[in-house]
A and B are shown apart, each in its own frame.
Chain A
């Protein structure tokens, strides 16, 4: 029984492609969730969803030029995502439009452009491939890319941490003491785009958002400040990746890997929402005696 269980857990990773998939997901699990924590705290959770659509036209353009080539689609996605992020950031800072509105405008343009480009050549299957990724097909360059994205993200977060927190908490104050608010904001958006592009290798543009946001939101039920939220979100993401990959390999039915990973993160979220010590549902139902002071 235990042997069978162990075989189910360890067995899949005898295959190289599963090990690659695991390494790729673990690297993403270290870099995407901290960004998700900041997005969540800035009430920009849905912004990453919009950004994931913004990547599409670039990926599609790469696909048009070079066919189903990961480097071309990655480069295109990166360029398109950064362009949308920077333009939306610019419009937000220079006009009366708020961030959500300016981003919505640009991502809708980008998404429509992307669908148009994909439809110029290729079938629906190709579009699905771009949208949902293929974690089991990570080759060496793809792994290098994900590892690089993860490394750059963690280094950049370490460098930008203090101004980024200040920009989140009190942007007006940061403006009065420093000019770094704008650059920090753009750098943060760029990191989000990079991680979505990295995740799009493994999970596709739609599900890359899942690994960024679900762990961060889950962490909210377990930790209350940044020093707790960030590690917990990473841990949730690592767990979700491992569970998703293993279950997807062992499942009787054909369970695609990307959705399996995000569904695992979703399951962890629902469990945390119920039993989490910080404002979880069950905690709210039980009324505990109040304190003296």
Chain B
């Protein structure tokens, strides 16, 4: 843990999912305070689900998340924002939404105006303050959302595929911002698809394929072996999947399962063929 123990996030045997089907299955580990963690894995691997679980947007199916900070101190940039871009709102107003925790519903925005303008300048959107959000391009809009993240000034920042559909120059600028947050000691978790980006900028990586494949220093995680295993784990969603019996304390339940299955099989054969093996029975 870093010096800010309270910012660390501990994950205990966490299962997240939809309709009882796990999308993140039995994840254990800690995100250290000040960590800059990349979440990688194929589509459907549970990256977005994990981020939603961390921000409290979906309930946990099993296990728990321990956060030193309150849920409110986490800034979250979703993959597909629910933002209604046809709403007549200016860039400055959008960025000023980041002031909520400081100013709440009633205090004057004037106090935060300088911070908003500085954030807009930091993402390279100076001069766009009065523009309606509906007139921004995809990259400009993403810059505006990053300006809102700056203004939010959160200790923990969760980014869900922040660079999808963004040009190289903008990605470069935004990665520089993220690295700046890392240097300020904030915790950053980003779901990403570009391994080169991850290798170049993220010290730690969690490779997910519903089950955690590997979690640690990026160079140790992004090995050909690990990536191949991630690819092979099926994305299938088994409608008839049995209830998962995996227990928190005991890992020897797996063998138990096997024994039960064997018993059942032998029992059936016992009935007809004594102790003969299935093969003998078929012959």
Residue with the highest number of chain B CB atoms closer than 10 Å, among A174, A176, A224, A226: A176
For the complex, give the distance between the alpha carbons of A166 and B104 in Å.
12
Measured between C-beta atoms, what is the minimum distance from B78 to chain A in Å?
A: 6
From known contacts A163-B105, A171-B82, A224-B132, infer whether A178 and B90 are also in contact, taking CB-CB under 8 Å. no
A229 B106 Cβ-Cβ under 8 A: no
Q: Mark B14-56, 1 if CB is under 8 A from A, else 0.
A: 0000000000000000000000000000000000000000011
Interface band, chain A: 20 to 34
Complex interface: chain A residues within 8 A of B152 (CB)? 177
Complex interface: chain B residues within 8 A of A174 (CB)? 100
Check: B256 CB closer than 8 A to any chain A CB: no
Check: B74 CB closer than 8 A to any chain A CB: yes
B55 A176 Cβ-Cβ under 8 A: yes
Complex interface: chain A residues within 8 A of B148 (CB)? 173
For the complex, give the distance between the alpha carbons of A159 and B56 in Å.
27
Residue with the highest number of chain B CB atoms closer than 10 Å, among A177, A224, A226: A177
B88 A41 Cβ-Cβ under 8 A: yes
B81 A172 Cβ-Cβ under 8 A: yes
For the complex, give the distance between the alpha carbons of A206 and B93 in Å.
36
Check: B220 CB closer than 8 A to any chain A CB: no
Check: B83 CB closer than 8 A to any chain A CB: yes
Check: B68 CB closer than 8 A to any chain A CB: no
For the complex, give the distance between the alpha carbons of A177 and B97 in Å.
10
B100 A166 Cβ-Cβ under 8 A: yes
Query: Which of A161, A169, A176, A224 contacts B84 (CB under 8 A)?
Result: A169
A160 B57 Cβ-Cβ under 8 A: no
From known contacts A175-B57, A176-B57, infer whether A170 and B82 are also in contact, taking CB-CB under 8 Å. yes
Q: Is the interface of A mostly helix, strand, loop or mixed?
A: helix
A177 B82 Cβ-Cβ under 8 A: no
Measured between C-beta atoms, what is the minimum distance from A223 to chain B in Å?
A: 8
Query: Which of A175, A177, A180, A225 contacts B88 (CB under 8 A)?
Result: A225
Measured between C-beta atoms, what is the minimum distance from A172 to chain B in Å?
A: 4
A166 B88 Cβ-Cβ under 8 A: no
For the complex, give the distance between the alpha carbons of A224 and B131 in Å.
11
Complex interface: chain B residues within 8 A of A224 (CB)? 88, 132
Measured between C-beta atoms, what is the minimum distance from B127 to chain A in Å?
A: 12
For the complex, give the distance between the alpha carbons of A160 and B105 in Å.
7
Q: Mark A176-220, 1 if CB is under 8 A from B, else 0.
A: 111010000000000000000000000000000000000000000
Complex interface: chain B residues within 8 A of A169 (CB)? 83-84, 87, 89, 94, 97
Complex interface: chain B residues within 8 A of A168 (CB)? 84, 87
Beta-carbon nearest neighbor of B72 in chain A: A177
Complex interface: chain B residues within 8 A of A68 (CB)? none
Complex interface: chain A residues within 8 A of B83 (CB)? 169-170, 173
B76 A170 Cβ-Cβ under 8 A: no
For the complex, give the distance between the alpha carbons of A165 and B105 in Å.
11
Q: Mark B58-74, 1 if CB is under 8 A from A, else 0.
A: 00000000000001101
Check: A284 CB closer than 8 A to any chain B CB: no
For the complex, give the distance between the alpha carbons of A231 and B36 in Å.
48
Check: A162 CB closer than 8 A to any chain B CB: yes
Q: Mark B168-192, 1 if CB is under 8 A from A, else 0.
A: 0000000000000000000000000
A172 B97 Cβ-Cβ under 8 A: no
For the complex, give the distance between the alpha carbons of A22 and B152 in Å.
48
9 nearest A-B residue pairs (beta carbon): A225-B88, A172-B82, A170-B83, A177-B100, A169-B87, A162-B105, A176-B76, A163-B105, A224-B88
Some 22 contacts from A to B, beta carbons below 8 A apart, are: A42-B84, A160-B105, A165-B89, A165-B93, A166-B97, A170-B83, A171-B82, A172-B57, A172-B78, A173-B148, A174-B100, A176-B55, A176-B57, A176-B74, A176-B76, A177-B100, A177-B101, A178-B72, A180-B105, A225-B89, A226-B88, A229-B88
Q: A169-B94, A170-B81, A225-B132 are in contact. List 11 more A-B contacts (CB 8 A).
A: A42-B84, A162-B105, A168-B84, A169-B84, A169-B89, A170-B82, A172-B57, A176-B71, A177-B72, A180-B105, A224-B132
